[in-house]
Amino acid sequence: MNRKDLKLYLVTDRGLAGDRAIEEIVRESVEGGATMVQLREKDIDTREFIGLALRLKNLLEPYGVPLIINDRVDVALAAGADGVHIGQSDMPYSMARRLLGPDRIIGLSVENFEQIEEANALDVDYIGVSPVFATPTKTDTSEPFGLEGLRKAVRMSVHPTVAIGGMNERTAADVMACGTDGIAVVSAIVCASDPRQATRNLLKIMTL
Amino acid sequence: MNRKDLKLYLVTDRGLAGDRAIEEIVRESVEGGATMVQLREKDIDTREFIGLALRLKNLLEPYGVPLIINDRVDVALAAGADGVHIGQSDMPYSMARRLLGPDRIIGLSVENFEQIEEANALDVDYIGVSPVFATPTKTDTSEPFGLEGLRKAVRMSVHPTVAIGGMNERTAADVMACGTDGIAVVSAIVCASDPRQATRNLLKIMTL
Protein backbone atom coordinates (compact mmCIF):
# COMPACT_ATOMS: atom_id res chain seq x y z
CA MET A 1 0.00 0.00 0.00
CA ASN A 2 1.09 3.49 -0.81
CA ARG A 3 1.06 5.78 2.22
CA LYS A 4 -0.67 8.38 0.06
CA ASP A 5 -3.66 6.06 -0.36
CA LEU A 6 -4.66 6.96 3.19
CA LYS A 7 -5.14 10.63 2.42
CA LEU A 8 -8.87 10.68 1.94
CA TYR A 9 -10.22 7.35 3.01
CA LEU A 10 -13.96 6.97 2.46
CA VAL A 11 -15.77 4.61 4.84
CA THR A 12 -19.23 3.61 3.67
CA ASP A 13 -22.31 3.46 5.81
CA ARG A 14 -25.53 2.37 4.13
CA GLY A 15 -27.52 3.52 7.12
CA LEU A 16 -26.50 7.10 6.36
CA ALA A 17 -26.87 6.81 2.59
CA GLY A 18 -30.65 6.97 2.71
CA ASP A 19 -32.19 6.11 -0.63
CA ARG A 20 -28.98 6.48 -2.60
CA ALA A 21 -27.01 3.43 -3.72
CA ILE A 22 -23.68 3.15 -1.96
CA GLU A 23 -22.05 2.47 -5.35
CA GLU A 24 -23.07 5.89 -6.60
CA ILE A 25 -21.72 7.65 -3.54
CA VAL A 26 -18.45 5.75 -3.84
CA ARG A 27 -18.12 6.52 -7.55
CA GLU A 28 -18.74 10.21 -7.07
CA SER A 29 -16.37 10.45 -4.14
CA VAL A 30 -13.60 8.65 -6.00
CA GLU A 31 -14.11 10.95 -8.96
CA GLY A 32 -13.75 13.79 -6.48
CA GLY A 33 -10.41 12.39 -5.34
CA ALA A 34 -11.01 9.80 -2.58
CA THR A 35 -7.90 7.63 -2.36
CA MET A 36 -9.17 4.51 -0.60
CA VAL A 37 -12.58 2.99 0.19
CA GLN A 38 -13.68 0.85 3.09
CA LEU A 39 -16.89 -1.13 2.91
CA ARG A 40 -18.35 -1.37 6.39
CA GLU A 41 -21.54 -3.36 6.83
CA LYS A 42 -22.84 -4.89 10.01
CA ASP A 43 -26.39 -6.06 9.47
CA ILE A 44 -26.22 -7.73 6.11
CA ASP A 45 -26.29 -11.29 4.81
CA THR A 46 -22.91 -12.64 3.79
CA ARG A 47 -24.06 -13.19 0.21
CA GLU A 48 -25.30 -9.63 -0.15
CA PHE A 49 -22.11 -8.32 1.46
CA ILE A 50 -19.97 -10.23 -1.04
CA GLY A 51 -22.12 -9.03 -3.93
CA LEU A 52 -21.71 -5.42 -2.87
CA ALA A 53 -17.96 -5.90 -2.38
CA LEU A 54 -17.62 -7.38 -5.86
CA ARG A 55 -19.51 -4.47 -7.41
CA LEU A 56 -17.34 -1.94 -5.56
CA LYS A 57 -14.16 -3.80 -6.51
CA ASN A 58 -15.15 -3.67 -10.18
CA LEU A 59 -16.06 -0.02 -9.85
CA LEU A 60 -12.79 0.95 -8.13
CA GLU A 61 -10.38 -1.14 -10.21
CA PRO A 62 -10.18 1.31 -13.15
CA TYR A 63 -9.42 4.17 -10.75
CA GLY A 64 -6.64 2.23 -9.02
CA VAL A 65 -8.35 2.89 -5.69
CA PRO A 66 -7.98 0.06 -3.12
CA LEU A 67 -11.08 -1.56 -1.63
CA ILE A 68 -10.85 -2.50 2.04
CA ILE A 69 -13.46 -4.63 3.84
CA ASN A 70 -14.29 -3.88 7.44
CA ASP A 71 -13.89 -6.89 9.77
CA ARG A 72 -14.86 -9.70 7.39
CA VAL A 73 -11.83 -11.60 6.11
CA ASP A 74 -14.11 -14.10 4.36
CA VAL A 75 -15.82 -11.36 2.38
CA ALA A 76 -12.45 -9.81 1.46
CA LEU A 77 -11.13 -13.15 0.21
CA ALA A 78 -14.30 -14.03 -1.67
CA ALA A 79 -14.52 -10.66 -3.41
CA GLY A 80 -10.81 -10.27 -4.09
CA ALA A 81 -10.68 -7.03 -2.11
CA ASP A 82 -7.35 -5.33 -1.47
CA GLY A 83 -7.46 -5.86 2.26
CA VAL A 84 -9.33 -5.60 5.51
CA HIS A 85 -9.68 -3.11 8.32
CA ILE A 86 -9.94 -4.76 11.70
CA GLY A 87 -10.85 -3.40 15.09
CA GLN A 88 -9.86 -4.64 18.51
CA SER A 89 -12.88 -6.96 18.71
CA ASP A 90 -12.45 -8.38 15.21
CA MET A 91 -10.18 -11.23 14.13
CA PRO A 92 -6.78 -11.03 15.86
CA TYR A 93 -4.19 -9.54 13.53
CA SER A 94 -1.92 -12.58 13.28
CA MET A 95 -4.81 -14.78 12.14
CA ALA A 96 -5.96 -12.22 9.60
CA ARG A 97 -2.43 -11.93 8.19
CA ARG A 98 -2.12 -15.71 7.92
CA LEU A 99 -5.42 -15.96 6.03
CA LEU A 100 -4.83 -12.94 3.77
CA GLY A 101 -1.16 -13.52 2.99
CA PRO A 102 1.68 -11.01 3.04
CA ASP A 103 0.52 -8.76 0.21
CA ARG A 104 -2.96 -7.66 1.19
CA ILE A 105 -3.52 -4.51 3.18
CA ILE A 106 -4.44 -4.88 6.83
CA GLY A 107 -5.36 -1.79 8.81
CA LEU A 108 -5.94 -1.89 12.54
CA SER A 109 -8.02 0.48 14.68
CA VAL A 110 -6.29 1.62 17.85
CA GLU A 111 -8.25 3.25 20.65
CA ASN A 112 -5.47 4.17 23.07
CA PHE A 113 -1.68 4.51 23.30
CA GLU A 114 -1.16 1.01 24.65
CA GLN A 115 -2.76 -0.38 21.48
CA ILE A 116 -0.44 1.79 19.38
CA GLU A 117 2.54 0.19 21.10
CA GLU A 118 1.07 -3.24 20.45
CA ALA A 119 0.51 -2.33 16.79
CA ASN A 120 4.13 -1.19 16.51
CA ALA A 121 5.17 -4.80 17.08
CA LEU A 122 3.00 -6.00 14.17
CA ASP A 123 3.50 -5.58 10.44
CA VAL A 124 0.13 -3.89 9.94
CA ASP A 125 -0.05 -1.61 6.92
CA TYR A 126 -1.58 1.31 8.77
CA ILE A 127 -3.37 2.16 11.98
CA GLY A 128 -6.65 3.99 12.32
CA VAL A 129 -6.52 6.37 15.28
CA SER A 130 -10.08 6.11 16.57
CA PRO A 131 -11.85 8.25 17.47
CA VAL A 132 -10.10 11.59 17.22
CA PHE A 133 -13.35 13.37 18.03
CA ALA A 134 -16.61 12.04 19.45
CA THR A 135 -18.93 11.15 16.58
CA PRO A 136 -22.49 9.99 16.18
CA THR A 137 -21.62 7.41 13.46
CA LYS A 138 -19.56 5.27 15.83
CA THR A 139 -21.23 5.00 19.19
CA ASP A 140 -19.26 2.12 20.73
CA THR A 141 -15.94 3.93 20.84
CA SER A 142 -13.50 4.86 23.56
CA GLU A 143 -12.46 8.27 24.88
CA PRO A 144 -11.53 10.51 21.90
CA PHE A 145 -7.82 11.17 21.29
CA GLY A 146 -8.33 14.88 20.50
CA LEU A 147 -5.77 16.79 18.45
CA GLU A 148 -3.14 16.57 21.18
CA GLY A 149 -3.61 12.81 21.43
CA LEU A 150 -3.49 12.44 17.65
CA ARG A 151 -0.16 14.30 17.49
CA LYS A 152 1.23 11.96 20.11
CA ALA A 153 -0.21 8.92 18.30
CA VAL A 154 1.44 9.96 15.03
CA ARG A 155 4.79 10.39 16.80
CA MET A 156 4.47 7.02 18.55
CA SER A 157 3.37 4.94 15.59
CA VAL A 158 5.92 3.25 13.34
CA HIS A 159 3.10 2.75 10.85
CA PRO A 160 1.22 5.19 8.63
CA THR A 161 -1.80 6.63 10.42
CA VAL A 162 -5.28 7.66 9.44
CA ALA A 163 -7.47 9.75 11.71
CA ILE A 164 -11.02 8.46 12.31
CA GLY A 165 -14.00 10.11 13.99
CA GLY A 166 -15.36 13.58 13.42
CA MET A 167 -13.50 14.27 10.17
CA ASN A 168 -15.14 17.10 8.20
CA GLU A 169 -14.50 20.50 6.62
CA ARG A 170 -14.15 22.17 10.01
CA THR A 171 -11.65 19.67 11.43
CA ALA A 172 -9.64 18.42 8.43
CA ALA A 173 -6.97 21.14 8.39
CA ASP A 174 -6.21 20.89 12.11
CA VAL A 175 -6.12 17.12 11.88
CA MET A 176 -3.66 17.08 8.98
CA ALA A 177 -1.48 19.57 10.88
CA CYS A 178 -0.98 16.81 13.47
CA GLY A 179 1.10 14.90 10.93
CA THR A 180 -1.33 12.09 10.16
CA ASP A 181 -1.25 10.56 6.66
CA GLY A 182 -4.92 11.01 6.09
CA ILE A 183 -8.47 11.14 7.33
CA ALA A 184 -11.18 8.47 7.27
CA VAL A 185 -14.48 10.09 6.42
CA VAL A 186 -17.98 8.71 6.82
CA SER A 187 -20.85 11.16 7.14
CA ALA A 188 -19.12 14.24 5.67
CA ILE A 189 -19.17 12.41 2.33
CA VAL A 190 -21.91 9.76 2.63
CA CYS A 191 -24.48 12.31 3.85
CA ALA A 192 -23.38 15.08 1.46
CA SER A 193 -25.86 16.04 -1.23
CA ASP A 194 -22.91 16.13 -3.66
CA PRO A 195 -20.29 13.55 -2.55
CA ARG A 196 -17.95 14.54 -5.41
CA GLN A 197 -17.88 18.17 -4.37
CA ALA A 198 -17.70 17.28 -0.66
CA THR A 199 -14.61 15.16 -1.37
CA ARG A 200 -13.01 17.94 -3.43
CA ASN A 201 -13.69 20.48 -0.69
CA LEU A 202 -12.10 18.25 1.95
CA LEU A 203 -9.01 17.66 -0.18
CA LYS A 204 -8.68 21.38 -0.81
CA ILE A 205 -8.83 22.14 2.91
CA MET A 206 -6.31 19.37 3.64
CA THR A 207 -3.72 20.74 1.24
CA LEU A 208 -4.00 24.39 2.19
CA MET B 1 -17.00 -36.67 6.38
CA ASN B 2 -18.58 -39.90 7.44
CA ARG B 3 -22.28 -40.05 6.58
CA LYS B 4 -22.87 -41.37 10.11
CA ASP B 5 -21.61 -38.08 11.55
CA LEU B 6 -24.91 -36.52 10.54
CA LYS B 7 -26.96 -38.80 12.77
CA LEU B 8 -27.40 -36.47 15.73
CA TYR B 9 -26.16 -33.07 14.72
CA LEU B 10 -26.27 -30.52 17.53
CA VAL B 11 -26.71 -26.89 16.48
CA THR B 12 -25.90 -24.39 19.20
CA ASP B 13 -27.94 -21.35 20.09
CA ARG B 14 -26.65 -19.17 22.91
CA GLY B 15 -29.95 -17.34 23.01
CA LEU B 16 -31.64 -20.55 24.18
CA ALA B 17 -28.84 -21.62 26.50
CA GLY B 18 -29.77 -19.10 29.18
CA ASP B 19 -27.14 -18.83 31.86
CA ARG B 20 -25.36 -22.04 30.91
CA ALA B 21 -22.11 -21.94 28.95
CA ILE B 22 -22.50 -23.34 25.46
CA GLU B 23 -19.31 -25.37 26.02
CA GLU B 24 -20.95 -27.29 28.85
CA ILE B 25 -24.05 -28.07 26.81
CA VAL B 26 -21.89 -29.24 23.91
CA ARG B 27 -19.71 -31.42 26.14
CA GLU B 28 -22.69 -33.08 27.76
CA SER B 29 -24.47 -33.65 24.48
CA VAL B 30 -21.36 -35.17 22.90
CA GLU B 31 -20.93 -37.45 25.91
CA GLY B 32 -24.55 -38.45 25.34
CA GLY B 33 -23.74 -39.38 21.74
CA ALA B 34 -24.05 -36.26 19.53
CA THR B 35 -22.11 -36.97 16.34
CA MET B 36 -21.47 -33.47 14.95
CA VAL B 37 -21.69 -29.91 16.30
CA GLN B 38 -22.51 -26.68 14.54
CA LEU B 39 -21.65 -23.35 16.13
CA ARG B 40 -24.25 -20.83 15.02
CA GLU B 41 -23.85 -17.27 16.21
CA LYS B 42 -25.32 -14.17 14.66
CA ASP B 43 -24.87 -11.23 17.03
CA ILE B 44 -21.32 -11.68 18.21
CA ASP B 45 -18.00 -9.95 17.61
CA THR B 46 -15.68 -11.81 15.29
CA ARG B 47 -13.01 -12.14 17.97
CA GLU B 48 -15.43 -13.63 20.47
CA PHE B 49 -16.82 -15.96 17.78
CA ILE B 50 -13.31 -17.23 16.98
CA GLY B 51 -12.51 -17.67 20.68
CA LEU B 52 -15.64 -19.75 21.19
CA ALA B 53 -14.90 -21.80 18.06
CA LEU B 54 -11.36 -22.52 19.26
CA ARG B 55 -12.64 -23.65 22.66
CA LEU B 56 -15.23 -25.93 21.07
CA LYS B 57 -12.65 -27.32 18.62
CA ASN B 58 -10.34 -28.22 21.52
CA LEU B 59 -13.24 -29.71 23.43
CA LEU B 60 -14.47 -31.83 20.49
CA GLU B 61 -11.10 -33.01 19.17
CA PRO B 62 -10.65 -35.85 21.73
CA TYR B 63 -14.13 -37.14 20.94
CA GLY B 64 -13.47 -37.17 17.20
CA VAL B 65 -16.62 -35.05 16.70
CA PRO B 66 -16.43 -32.54 13.81
CA LEU B 67 -17.01 -28.84 14.50
CA ILE B 68 -18.92 -26.96 11.82
CA ILE B 69 -19.25 -23.16 11.75
CA ASN B 70 -22.47 -21.60 10.54
CA ASP B 71 -22.01 -19.09 7.69
CA ARG B 72 -18.60 -17.65 8.65
CA VAL B 73 -15.80 -19.06 6.49
CA ASP B 74 -13.32 -16.67 8.14
CA VAL B 75 -14.13 -18.00 11.60
CA ALA B 76 -13.86 -21.59 10.37
CA LEU B 77 -10.45 -20.94 8.84
CA ALA B 78 -9.14 -18.99 11.83
CA ALA B 79 -10.27 -21.61 14.33
CA GLY B 80 -9.29 -24.64 12.27
CA ALA B 81 -12.86 -25.93 12.30
CA ASP B 82 -13.80 -28.99 10.26
CA GLY B 83 -16.11 -27.10 7.95
CA VAL B 84 -18.96 -24.68 7.47
CA HIS B 85 -22.70 -24.86 7.07
CA ILE B 86 -24.02 -22.31 4.62
CA GLY B 87 -27.51 -21.17 3.84
CA GLN B 88 -28.90 -19.72 0.65
CA SER B 89 -28.06 -16.15 1.76
CA ASP B 90 -24.54 -16.99 2.91
CA MET B 91 -21.39 -17.19 0.80
CA PRO B 92 -22.07 -18.92 -2.54
CA TYR B 93 -20.91 -22.54 -2.42
CA SER B 94 -18.21 -22.30 -5.08
CA MET B 95 -16.49 -19.44 -3.25
CA ALA B 96 -16.67 -21.26 0.05
CA ARG B 97 -15.17 -24.40 -1.50
CA ARG B 98 -12.36 -22.39 -3.06
CA LEU B 99 -11.50 -20.75 0.28
CA LEU B 100 -11.84 -23.91 2.38
CA GLY B 101 -10.16 -26.34 0.01
CA PRO B 102 -11.32 -29.80 -1.03
CA ASP B 103 -11.09 -31.54 2.34
CA ARG B 104 -13.22 -29.47 4.66
CA ILE B 105 -16.89 -30.24 5.15
CA ILE B 106 -19.40 -27.92 3.52
CA GLY B 107 -23.08 -28.41 4.24
CA LEU B 108 -25.77 -26.46 2.44
CA SER B 109 -29.29 -25.66 3.61
CA VAL B 110 -31.95 -26.26 0.99
CA GLU B 111 -35.42 -24.82 1.39
CA ASN B 112 -37.19 -26.31 -1.62
CA PHE B 113 -36.85 -28.98 -4.29
CA GLU B 114 -35.32 -26.64 -6.83
CA GLN B 115 -32.47 -25.96 -4.41
CA ILE B 116 -31.99 -29.72 -3.96
CA GLU B 117 -31.53 -30.07 -7.71
CA GLU B 118 -29.02 -27.21 -7.65
CA ALA B 119 -27.16 -28.86 -4.77
CA ASN B 120 -27.04 -32.13 -6.72
CA ALA B 121 -24.78 -30.37 -9.24
CA LEU B 122 -22.32 -29.33 -6.47
CA ASP B 123 -19.88 -31.43 -4.47
CA VAL B 124 -21.34 -30.37 -1.12
CA ASP B 125 -20.80 -32.87 1.68
CA TYR B 126 -24.39 -32.90 2.85
CA ILE B 127 -27.60 -30.92 2.56
CA GLY B 128 -29.75 -29.69 5.42
CA VAL B 129 -33.43 -30.06 4.54
CA SER B 130 -34.85 -26.97 6.20
CA PRO B 131 -37.29 -26.74 7.78
CA VAL B 132 -39.05 -30.08 8.02
CA PHE B 133 -41.48 -28.65 10.55
CA ALA B 134 -42.23 -25.05 11.51
CA THR B 135 -40.07 -24.06 14.45
CA PRO B 136 -39.72 -21.09 16.75
CA THR B 137 -35.87 -21.18 16.68
CA LYS B 138 -35.67 -20.31 12.99
CA THR B 139 -38.22 -17.68 12.10
CA ASP B 140 -36.94 -16.63 8.66
CA THR B 141 -37.58 -19.94 6.97
CA SER B 142 -39.64 -21.08 4.03
CA GLU B 143 -42.67 -23.36 3.89
CA PRO B 144 -41.90 -26.55 5.86
CA PHE B 145 -41.17 -29.74 3.87
CA GLY B 146 -43.22 -31.97 6.17
CA LEU B 147 -42.60 -35.73 6.31
CA GLU B 148 -43.84 -36.27 2.77
CA GLY B 149 -41.54 -33.54 1.48
CA LEU B 150 -38.60 -34.90 3.44
CA ARG B 151 -39.10 -38.35 1.92
CA LYS B 152 -39.09 -36.80 -1.54
CA ALA B 153 -36.02 -34.68 -0.65
CA VAL B 154 -34.08 -37.75 0.50
CA ARG B 155 -34.97 -39.57 -2.73
CA MET B 156 -33.98 -36.57 -4.88
CA SER B 157 -30.69 -35.74 -3.20
CA VAL B 158 -27.45 -37.34 -4.37
CA HIS B 159 -25.90 -36.12 -1.09
CA PRO B 160 -26.38 -37.24 2.50
CA THR B 161 -29.22 -35.37 4.15
CA VAL B 162 -29.92 -34.04 7.60
CA ALA B 163 -33.38 -32.94 8.66
CA ILE B 164 -33.64 -29.51 10.31
CA GLY B 165 -36.53 -27.81 12.08
CA GLY B 166 -38.78 -29.26 14.76
CA MET B 167 -36.58 -32.25 15.63
CA ASN B 168 -37.45 -33.67 19.05
CA GLU B 169 -38.50 -36.83 20.87
CA ARG B 170 -41.95 -36.71 19.33
CA THR B 171 -40.77 -36.32 15.73
CA ALA B 172 -37.39 -38.11 15.56
CA ALA B 173 -38.67 -41.62 14.78
CA ASP B 174 -40.99 -40.49 11.97
CA VAL B 175 -38.24 -38.31 10.53
CA MET B 176 -35.68 -41.13 10.47
CA ALA B 177 -38.26 -43.37 8.81
CA CYS B 178 -38.14 -40.96 5.85
CA GLY B 179 -34.64 -42.23 5.11
CA THR B 180 -32.65 -39.16 6.14
CA ASP B 181 -29.14 -39.68 7.53
CA GLY B 182 -29.76 -37.66 10.64
CA ILE B 183 -31.44 -34.86 12.49
CA ALA B 184 -30.12 -31.41 13.37
CA VAL B 185 -31.29 -30.50 16.84
CA VAL B 186 -31.33 -27.13 18.53
CA SER B 187 -33.81 -26.56 21.35
CA ALA B 188 -34.51 -30.22 22.20
CA ILE B 189 -30.92 -30.39 23.47
CA VAL B 190 -29.90 -26.78 24.17
CA CYS B 191 -32.99 -26.13 26.30
CA ALA B 192 -32.96 -29.52 28.01
CA SER B 193 -32.20 -29.52 31.73
CA ASP B 194 -29.96 -32.53 31.08
CA PRO B 195 -28.47 -32.29 27.57
CA ARG B 196 -26.67 -35.63 27.95
CA GLN B 197 -29.84 -37.50 28.76
CA ALA B 198 -31.81 -35.58 26.11
CA THR B 199 -29.25 -36.66 23.51
CA ARG B 200 -29.37 -40.28 24.68
CA ASN B 201 -33.17 -40.27 24.56
CA LEU B 202 -33.19 -38.93 21.02
CA LEU B 203 -30.67 -41.51 19.85
CA LYS B 204 -32.69 -44.30 21.45
CA ILE B 205 -35.86 -43.17 19.69
CA MET B 206 -33.99 -42.88 16.38
CA THR B 207 -32.71 -46.45 16.49
CA LEU B 208 -35.92 -48.12 17.60
State the Cα–Cα distance between residues A56 and A47, nearest whole angstrom. Answer: 14
Radius of gyration in angstroms for the set of CA atoms belonging to chain B, rounded to a whole number: 16
CB contact under 8 A, B74 and A78: no
Report the complex ipTM. Answer: 0.92
Task: Please list the alpha-helical segments (H only) found in B32-112.
Answer: 46-60, 73-79, 93-100
Shortest CA distance from A92: residue in chain B = B47
User: Would you state the pLDDT for residue A207?
Assistant: 85
Asked if A86 and A68 count as a contact pair (C-beta separation under 8 A), the reply is no
Which amino acid type is present at position B40? R
Q: For residue A143, what are the contacts with CB-CB under 8 A and spacing of at least 6?
A: A112
Q: How confident is the model at residue A62 (pLDDT cuts 50, 70, 90)?
A: very high
- Interface residues of A toward B, Cβ cutoff 8 Å, are 45-48, 50, 71-75, 77-78, 88-92, 95, 99
CB contact under 8 A, A47 and B72: no
Shortest CA distance from A72: residue in chain B = B74
B21: left (phi over 0), alpha (psi -120 to 50) or beta: beta
State the Cα–Cα distance between residues B54 and A60, nearest whole angstrom. Answer: 36
Alpha-carbon distances, residue A30 vs A192, A200, B192 (angstroms):
14, 10, 55
* Whether the model pTM is above 0.80: yes
CB contact under 8 A, B78 and A73: yes
CB contact under 8 A, A71 and B46: yes
Tens of pLDDT, residue by residue, chain B (208 residues): 899 999 999 999 888 888 999 999 999 999 999 999 999 998 899 999 999 999 999 999 999 999 999 999 999 999 999 999 999 999 999 999 999 999 999 999 999 999 999 999 999 999 999 999 988 766 666 899 999 999 999 999 999 999 999 999 999 999 999 999 999 999 999 999 999 999 999 999 998 7
Q: Given B75, B78, B95, which is nearest A78 (Cβ)?
A: B95
pLDDT, tens digit, for every residue of A94-117? 999 999 999 999 999 999 999 999
Q: For residue B137, what are the contacts with CB-CB under 8 A and spacing of at least 6?
A: B13, B16, B186, B187
Per the DSSP assignment, residues forming a β-bridge with B107 are B85, B126
- Interface residues of B toward A, Cβ cutoff 8 Å, are 45-48, 50, 71-75, 77-78, 88-92, 95, 99
Shortest CA distance from B97: residue in chain A = A78
What are the chain A neighbours of B72 within 8 Å (beta carbons)?
A: 46, 74
